[in-house]
Amino acid sequence: MKELEIYILAGGKSSRMGSDKGLVKITGKPMIQYLIESIGTLPYPLRIIAHDPAYRQFDLKVIEDTIPEKGPLGGLLTALTNAKGNNVCLLSCDMPFLKTETLNALITQSRENYITVSRLKDRTLPFPGVYPESLISAVEEHVVNDKLKLQSFIQEKPHQFFALDERHKLSPIEFININTPTDIAQAATWLKKNH
């Protein structure tokens, strides 16, 4: 039977941050650790896809990309290859404040053979997203041929959008990407005010 495995992508270039962004600290804690501490409470295997061995400090399995430097779509290929027939949920290390309840609601709405992603202000967000195992050969074909735009890949394949229940309170910071040192400073200010 197909199950779900969660993979945090942390294998990008971090050119805007200037150093490996998942490991950059926000008020003393590596960005990715916020995500691990919340999402790690869900009953699914949790793994990191990264090339920096420093990610081993979090006591999770760290996997290197099957084909390096292919961006998030390459990360998806790595996740699907490792999941060996299971569906995968992809998270991004630069979205550290995603809440367990929000991700759980998205996972609950996922459907067999469909990609389930969010839509915010007319933009499709590839993370958090659930990607079915049936996509593996299509993903491989895209990666091998350097068709690396994950957004376009999603548009081409059967997909649905996660609908937030009106009872669910989405915190304004949950879907925020932290890409630059300025973003780190703003997130730290937000955390100090709200926690």
Interacting residues toward ligand GTP by CB under 6 A: 9-16, 49, 65, 69-72, 74-75, 92-94, 179
Q: Output 134 or 151, the one with its CB closest to ligand GTP.
A: 151
Q: How far is CA 40 from CA 7, 16, 64, 97, in A?
A: 11, 27, 20, 13
Q: Output 13 or 25, the one with its CB closest to ligand GTP.
A: 13
State the pairing for strand pair 87-92/61-63.
Answer: unpaired
Q: Output 133 or 183, the one with its CB closest to ligand GTP.
A: 183
Q: For residue 188, say whether it is annotated as part of any ligand binding site.
A: no
Q: Who contacts 89 (Cβ-Cβ below 8 Å, separation ≥6)?
A: 4, 5, 6, 7, 44, 103, 107, 128, 129, 130, 131
Q: For residue 9, say whether it is annotated as part of any ligand binding site.
A: yes
Tokens of 110: 């996922």
125 DSSP assignment: E
Cβ at position 20, least distance to ligand GTP in Å: 8
Q: For residue 10, say whether it is annotated as part of any ligand binding site.
A: yes
Cβ at position 100, least distance to ligand GTP in Å: 19
Q: For residue 11, say whether it is annotated as part of any ligand binding site.
A: yes
Q: For residue 149, say whether it is annotated as part of any ligand binding site.
A: no
Cβ at position 176, least distance to ligand GTP in Å: 12
Q: How far is CA 83 from CA 27, 30, 92, 95, 184, in A?
A: 34, 26, 17, 22, 32
Q: Output 93 or 103, the one with its CB closest to ligand GTP.
A: 93
Binding-site residue ranges for Mg(2+): 94
